[in-house]
Structures are given as structure tokens and as C-alpha cells.
């Protein structure tokens, strides 16, 4: 890219996370939004600014993948709920870099499709980077914390939140919410719905320079004792309203990496799980290190409901990927992670 040129960006979907990504791209003087993919028919043909609650930007959303690839952007900001490997292969094989928040860190959760991603990167000489808040940035926080130690025995990263205001039924039903508390299919559902955390275990093991014997997922559940109204969907009494999953990296019988989530909904949970309202890293080693990340709205933040505060979570999911665009565009071809990139900087974010 010539000095002073703007990186040309295509946004892939404009859901909750995608809307925050669009706002960040439009506000960044080093980036230029040139296209947008919309999978929903009612979004096709509309200005992206209209879809994202900002002024019109002069870019129209389309479902025409070929037309978007023909734009030859520098990077696609890829933010659907789940990855579409066929789309990713087409983008990467065209020579277009990708930053993703859609269940992608190292690609291991995709199984054999990971090889298709790698082959597309070779064909197009392109790179793909996946992040988000967790997994993603939270794992980087864990590795930075462990950098204080001359001996690391284990690293635990815990996301512990009340997600009652997060109204995304499709996403949350996939991990077991709303099922009967004794449903025998729950562990398999949770394992499949949180599989990207296994990617993050791979990432952290690579950073620690260790080979693992096993990566596994253990899960526990809590039920709501009263019917729970979540807006577009509900959970009946006696059904799952709390999910606790632990993705473990094990060597010689010892858990060296433990990536945990504890998500609860509503006030009537059995058992009544306590939560930390944030992200907690605990490093066992010399010294022992405990790091807690808490997030608060700024003084000028306007909210009329708890659900409004979930916007902060969408910002936190989008920005690690958007801020990585320059580094990913300059990276060697392939699947790249935080271990491969120079420091990702919030350049252009001062207002």
C-alpha cells in the first residue's frame, strides 16, 4: 500500500457486532468502507449507514458475493454469528485479507475445513485473523499476565457475567439455554456451541511452547426456578438459564490451561451462581498473578434499559478485529494470531 493510502474495507454482515465494526471503520481516517455483504433480504439495497444507525455513507448492502470480491478490497471485516467456510475460502483465495469475530481463532474448531482455509490463504497469498473479546483479547490478557512469571504452572481465564440483557436466541439456544436441566444432550450442545474456546487453548499452548495430551470441555448447568422473559424468547421454569463451560488443556494429567465461561440469566437461578462481572485471569506460578478486567460505560453513555448496555459488549467484540486490520494486511499469508502480529494499536480512536 502506498504511503498515505487508505485501506479499502468490505464489511461482511451488519448484525450487532457488524454495526459497531462499521461505525469504527467509518470513523477511522486510515480506512475506507467500499462494500457490504447482507445475508438478510430486507437489508439488500439499503445504505450501510441506515443499517447501522449512522449518517448515510454512500455504500449499499448487497448479497452479490462476486460483486464484492470484484472490488478487490484490502480486507474483509467478517462478523456473522458463525463462519461460512465457503465464503471465507472465496474471499481468501481472491487475495483479500480477513479479520473475523465469527468463531475463529486458529481454525481448529472447523475440523477438516481448516485445511481449506489454509489452502485458500496460499492461493491468494492472504491472511486471516480471528479475535473478539473472549475468546481473543481475554487470552492475550492471560498471556501478558503470565509474562510476569519465571515459572508458569497453569493459566485460568474466566468470563463471568449476567447476560440477561443479551437477546440473541439463536446464539444462546445453541449452547443449551432453554433445555430441560436433565437433558442428556446438553454437554454435546455446549461443547459444539463453544468449540472456538478450544481454538484459544491451542493459541495459549503455542504461546507457552507446550504440547498438550488432551483438549476437553466440561460443563455444568443451572436452572431458573421461575419463567424467564428475555424479550424475543423465554426460558421456562426448570430449564437451563445458567451455563458454565470449561475448556481445558491437559498434559500428563494436569490442567495447564483452563478457559472458563460462567453465564447466568435472571435472579432465580438454582444453584444461585455468584459472578465476577468481568474477566479474571489467574496464573499459578512464581509469582502467582491475578488480573481482573472490568468494563464500565463512559459518563456520556445513554441507556434506558439493561439491554442497551449490551452495546458495550458488541464494541468490545468488534474492536480487537478492526484495530488489527493494518497488521493483518501486512502479515505473512496464512492463519495468523496474536502470536504472529506486532502490537495491535488503537490508532485513530482518539476523538
Which domains does the chain possess? 7-131+324-336 (3.40.50.720), 134-302 (no CATH)
Per-residue model confidence as pLDDT tens digits over 61-115: 999 999 999 999 999 999 999 999 999 999 999 999 999 999 999 999 999 999 9
Per-residue model confidence as pLDDT tens digits over 248-278: 999 999 999 999 999 999 999 999 999 999 9
| H/E element, 199 | helix 196-208
Q: Report yes or no: 223 and 242 within 8 Å, Cβ to Cβ.
A: yes
**Is the pLDDT score of 152 beyond 70?**
yes
- What is the structure's pLDDT at 40? 94
pLDDT tier for residue 5 given thresholds of 50, 70 and 90: confident
Q: Report yes or no: 118 and 92 within 8 Å, Cβ to Cβ.
A: no
The count of C-alpha atoms lying within 13 angstroms of the C-alpha of 337, restricted to the half-sphere facing its C-beta, is 21
β-bridge pairing 7-12 and 31-37: parallel
Amino acid at each position: 500500500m502506498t504511503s498515505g493510502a487508505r485501506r479499502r474495507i468490505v464489511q461482511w454482515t451488519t448484525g450487532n457486532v457488524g454495526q459497531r465494526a462499521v461505525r469504527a471503520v467509518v470513523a477511522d481516517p486510515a480506512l475506507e468502507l467500499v462494500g457490504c455483504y447482507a445475508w438478510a433480504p430486507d437489508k439488500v439495497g439499503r445504505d450501510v449507514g441506515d443499517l447501522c444507525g449512522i449518517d448515510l455513507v454512500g455504500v449499499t448492502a448487497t448479497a452479490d458475493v462476486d460483486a464484492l470480491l470484484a472490488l478487490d478490497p484490502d480486507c474483509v471485516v467478517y462478523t456473522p454469528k458463525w463462519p461460512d467456510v465457503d465464503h471465507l475460502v472465496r474471499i481468501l483465495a481472491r487475495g483479500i485479507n480477513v479479520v473475523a469475530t465469527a468463531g475463529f481463532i486458529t481454525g481448529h474448531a472447523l475440523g477438516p475445513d481448516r485445511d481449506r482455509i489454509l489452502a485458500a490463504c496460499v492461493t491468494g497469498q492472504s491472511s486471516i485473523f480471528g479475535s473478539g473479546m473472549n475468546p481473543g483479547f481475554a487470552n492475550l490478557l492471560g498471556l501478558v499476565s503470565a509474562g510476569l512469571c519465571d515459572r508458569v504452572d497453569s493459566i485460568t481465564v474466566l468470563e463471568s457475567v449476567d447476560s440477561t440483557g443479551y437477546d440473541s436466541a439463536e446464539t444462546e439456544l445453541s449452547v443449551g439455554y432453554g433445555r430441560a436441566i436433565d437433558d442428556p444432550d446438553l454437554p454435546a450442545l455446549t461443547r459444539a456451541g463453544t468449540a472456538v474456546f478450544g481454538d484459544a487453548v491451542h493459541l495459549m499452548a503455542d504461546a507457552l511452547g507446550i504440547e498438550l495430551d488432551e483438549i476437553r470441555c466440561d460443563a455444568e448447568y443451572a436452572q431458573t426456578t421461575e419463567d424467564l422473559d428475555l424479550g424475543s424468547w423465554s426460558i421456562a421454569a426448570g430449564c437451563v438459564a445458567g451455563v458454565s463451560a470449561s475448556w481445558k488443556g491437559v498434559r500428563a494429567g494436569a490442567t495447564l490451561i483452563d478457559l472458563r465461561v460462567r453465564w447466568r440469566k435472571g435472579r432465580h437461578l438454582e444453584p444461585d451462581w455468584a459472578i465476577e462481572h468481568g474477566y479474571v485471569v489467574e496464573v499459578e506460578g512464581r509469582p502467582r498473578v491475578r488480573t481482573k478486567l472490568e468494563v464500565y460505560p463512559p459518563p456520556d453513555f445513554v441507556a434506558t434499559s439493561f439491554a442497551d448496555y449490551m452495546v458495550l459488549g458488541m464494541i468490545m467484540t468488534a474492536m480487537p478485529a478492526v484495530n488489527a486490520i493494518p497488521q493483518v494486511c501486512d502479515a505473512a499469508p496464512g492463519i495468523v494470531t496474536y502470536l504472529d502480529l506486532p502490537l495491535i494499536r488503537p490508532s485513530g480512536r482518539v476523538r
